[in-house]
Amino acid sequence: MTLRDLKPGEAGVVASIGTKGAMKRRIMDMGVTPGTQIRVIKVAPLGDPIEVNIRGYELSLRKEEADQILINK
């Protein structure tokens, strides 16, 4: 499952990042790395962006980015 599949209030652990290159580096630079706990706080009415809590701070991700983050519940 991907981060985009989680509903507000649900949490999981980052399993991997399914993209390569600049997008993967950008996601990892924001602190989204395999083994990290992540929780969805809220989703905008049209689904973009998604606000998550990771490493003690809130982060907003676009749908395209959330689709690349694979999650284990």
Each residue's pLDDT tens digit, 15-70:
999 888 898 999 999 899 999 999 999 999 887 899 999 999 999 999 999 999 99
Q: What is the pLDDT of residue 11?
A: 94
First to last CA, the chain: 9
Name the CA dihedral angle for 35, 1, 28, 48, rounded to a multiple of 10 degrees: -140
The β-bridge partners of 52 are: 40, 59
Q: Could you list the residue range(s) of the whole structural domain that residue 33 is in? A: 3-72
The β-bridge partners of 71 are: 14
Query: What is the CATH classification number for the domain harbouring 17?
Result: 2.30.30.90
CB atoms near residue 43 (< 10 Å): 18
Q: How many domains does the chain have?
A: 1
Q: What is the pLDDT of residue 9?
A: 94
User: Which two structure tokens, joined as six digits, stand for 27?
Assistant: 């996601």
